Structure 1
Amino acid sequence: MNFLVLLLVVGIEKFSPWRRRVQADGLWIRQLRRVEKPRSDSIRAWWIIALLVLLPAMVLGVVLSAIEPIAYGLLALPVHLLVVLFSLGRGGVQAGLGPFRDACRRGDTEGAYLVARRDLGIDEATPEALAARVQQRFVWQAFEGFFAIVFWYALLGPVLALVYRLVALIVEHSAMPGLRERAALLQHALDWLPARALAVTFGLVGDFVALNQALLNRLLDWDISAARLVTDAGRSAAELSVPTLDEDGNVSLDALWQLLVRSAVLWYVVLALWVVFV
């Protein structure tokens, strides 16, 4: 059933606005604002995570345990589908990049700075650093919004996919530094395995030799962030040069996108073979 759900997710994502309707975070964010306080110790932060992440996950687990034996699991199918749609990233991977790419196409460095600051929340001192940050944001959104969810859903089901998204929402929306720090630590732990899986996939669908030379000694490093790992892996596998704010920068973003698409196809092929032969 998991593979069928993932196929339906791709179809809905491409041809329907359902994902935006399912991803209604308002009620959950209001609960986050209600329970968090400006000052709190680490114990309270963990209690908030238990309340807003573990409790919904436990309720989902109980519901699925109750309905999965009924009608050969058909009643569980829409629940799986809704949970995965909710757990996907907010916004599109390429959303908001249009004006930035237009500025790069014109060679308008100042315009690219202004658009990146306004639309992407990115502000860097040099053109190379700005282009590198945009590439990192691009690859990270694809990983955090899709690949990590697919990985945990395929491996352990919808409960882990929901946990990942709720933890990510705390990192994004919490106004309490201690809570945000502990949620970020949890997300780092949840990112560790899928980030390595995606990095290896980049090598399989791109330049494996370049990736091996660039990342082999860092692949098992706990301290490196998932965003940096997958971005460096993507750049190496796509054989990208120094990032620039011109048409070559747009070509680099296109190369990263094609690498991500090929990686997604490979993951789906592996899942299909797993369903057929295991």
Structure 2
Amino acid sequence: MSFLVLLLVLWVEKFSAWRQRVQQDGPWLKLLVHCESRWSGSPWLALALLVLGPLLVLALALLLLDPLAYGWLALPVHLWVVIYSLGRGDLQAALGPFRDSWRRSDAEAAYLVARRDLNVDADSESELLQRVQGHLLWQAYQSFFAVIFWYALLGPLAALAYRLLALSAEHAGQEALRERAVQLRHAMDFLPVRVLAAAFALVGNFSAVSRALLHEVLSWDISAAQLVIRAGRAADETPEPRLGEEGVSTLDGLWQLLVRSAVLWYALLAVWTLLI
């Protein structure tokens, strides 16, 4: 059933608006505000309530539905959870204005739209494009690949836990709570980001990825964002940043790298499903 859910997720992502309807964070954000005010001195307790509370509700729902109709009644719940656990926003749509400005070689407009739409800033044109490239790789990883990895490995509870930690790290007002969410998310990122880097190597330049990450692939200190950006740029052999169409083509190349990696992941998951 897991592979069927992942296929349906692709269909929903490409051909429907269900994602925007499912990803309603209002109730959880209200819970965040309540936990921060009620347990301001116990950030671990607040984070446990924010993450474990929804997980317990989901676990109970699945426990009740799994025995019914050979588990097929749980399929909509799995699909809802995975869609909710995906990243927020439309990455390609958000990149559109920047791509248009960069293609016209309008650096000033590119700075403005990058700051407005992507929350990306830089001191030079070359640095700006590199940061947008990094934004593309990181957002694709945390929005899609990490969620798919944890769902395929451990099911909907793990996928939902990853997104709730990401939301806590992004929206928490208290520094202590945010730091603990970042720590736990870093732990959950350790394995999937390295699996994605390996996929980049297989569908891109294997030697370049090996050289770029050989000494840091098992390092706990390197962040997931740093690792996925280095691996992606190495795998695609990204050239030096330039204004105009040549610069936009680097974004297209990285997107195609991500698409090939997704196809590889789905192919491996299909084989694994057949074998078990």
- SS of aligned partner of 2:94: coil
Letter in 1 for 2:30: R
Return the match for 2:102 from 93, 101, 104.
104
Letter in 2 for 1:260: L
Query: Deviation of residue 242 (structure 1)?
Result: 2.3
Query: C-alpha deviations, 1:39-67, integer Å up to 9, x for none?
Result: 944xx111111111011112211221221
Query: 2: distance between equivalents of 1:153 and 1:277?
Result: 18
Partner residue in 1 for 2:6: 6
Query: C-alpha deviations, 1:4-49, integer Å up to 9, x for none?
Result: 00000101111110011000001111221222149944xx111111
Please say which of residues 146-155 and 115-124 is displaced more in the overlay: 115-124
Structure 1 stretches of 5 or more lacking a match? none
Partner residue in 2 for 1:34: 34
Contact 1:116 1:122 in 2 (8 A): yes
Partner residue in 2 for 1:252: 250
- SS of aligned partner of 1:251: helix
Pair 1:213-2:229 in alignment: no
TM-score using structure 2 length: 0.97
The change in CA–CA distance for 1:207 and 1:45 in structure 2 (over 3 A counts) is: same
Contact 2:85 2:162 in 1 (8 A): yes
Partner residue in 2 for 1:274: 272
Partner residue in 2 for 1:234: 232
Letter in 2 for 1:122: V
Contact 2:55 2:161 in 1 (8 A): yes
Partner residue in 2 for 1:113: 111
Return the match for 2:260 from 259, 262, 269.
262
Query: 2: distance between equivalents of 1:243 and 1:99?
Result: 18
Pair 1:23-2:2 in alignment: no
Partner residue in 1 for 2:182: 184
Query: 2: distance between equivalents of 1:199 and 1:243?
Result: 22
Query: 1: distance between equivalents of 2:63 and 2:243?
Result: 52
Return the match for 2:60 from 59, 62, 68.
62
Identity %: 58
Query: Deviation of residue 234 (structure 1)?
Result: 0.5
Query: 1: distance between equivalents of 2:134 and 2:37?
Result: 32
- SS of aligned partner of 2:145: helix
1:132-151 map, 5 Å: 132-151=130-149
Query: Deviation of residue 153 (structure 1)?
Result: 0.2
Contact 1:38 1:175 in 2 (8 A): no
Partner residue in 2 for 1:128: 126
Query: Deviation of residue 190 (structure 1)?
Result: 0.6
Return the match for 2:172 from 158, 174, 196.
174
Q: CA RMSD in A?
A: 1.4
Letter in 1 for 2:239: S
Partner residue in 2 for 1:200: 198
Please say which of residues 78-87 and 237-246 is displaced more in the overlay: 237-246
Query: C-alpha deviations, 1:191-228, integer Å up to 9, x for none?
Result: 11000000000000011011111111111111111111
Partner residue in 2 for 1:93: 91
TM-score using structure 1 length: 0.96
Letter in 1 for 2:137: V
Contact 1:112 1:245 in 2 (8 A): no
Q: Which structure carries more relative contact order (alpha carbon 8 Å, separation 6+)?
A: 1
Query: Deviation of residue 175 (structure 1)?
Result: 1.2
Query: 1: distance between equivalents of 2:203 and 2:226?
Result: 19
Letter in 2 for 1:17: A
